Amino acid sequence: MPALDIRGCLEDSPTFRRRIQSHEDSINNFEQSLKTVVKLTRAQVELSNVYSEQQKELAREYMSFAQAQDDPIVAQALEKFGKTMFDVEKNRQMLSTHIMESFITPLDTFMKNTIAPVKDLKKKFEKSSDDVDSALSKYMSKKPKDPTIHESAKELADSRKTFYTAYLEYVSCLNDLEAKKKVDYMENVSN
């Protein structure tokens, strides 16, 4: 998705607002996809761990059964088979640990540290937008000779200043997130 031009904040046109909405939709879809992938991967790791424990139990049974054998060749074969199963499960556990540390944890961190702050900035931006609308409505409802019109004008100016600051911060954060999606996310997926 192309970056948002910061100058669009000054114009605050409907077209620019639609572009922001497109970015927000893209982020929401991306976040939902990430949550689904993390959830499914975490479930797969849990299933793998349960399976691994059952396989270890079976391996112990083979080794126990091997000790009860009179024939040393059969005993040795069963013992070796049980130890091989333990080795396979040890590797499976290493894979599960690697998936957690290299995939799930970084993606959870990405969602928490990169996507969540954008949502907080969106709330701040929307509140400041509502505040400007309220201040403008209040100012426009004043008569030219109303003694409180200067107070309303100051309130409107302050609201606009807060709005544009929040607007710039929000759009900048949206652009940063788009860049991080391309770099940070792909780095975690491709490792």
Query: Considering the domain boundaries, does residue 1 fall inside one?
Result: no
**pLDDT tens digits along 45-93:** 999 999 999 999 999 999 999 999 899 999 999 999 999 999 999 999 9
Please give the residue that has the higher pLDDT: either 170 or 180.
170
Query: Considering the domain boundaries, does residue 41 fall inside one?
Result: yes
CA dihedral of 166, 170, 172, 174, whole degrees rounded to 10: 180
Query: Considering the domain boundaries, does residue 2 fall inside one?
Result: no
Q: Taking the CA atoms of the chain, what radius of gyration do you get in angstroms?
A: 30
Query: Considering the domain boundaries, does residue 59 fall inside one?
Result: yes
Give the structural domain span for 82: 8-190
Q: Is 69 left (phi over 0), alpha (psi -120 to 50) or beta?
A: beta
Global pTM value: 0.78
Cα 11 to Cα 19: distance, rounded to the nearest angstrom: 13
**pLDDT tens digits along 104-137:** 999 999 999 999 999 999 999 999 999 999 999 9
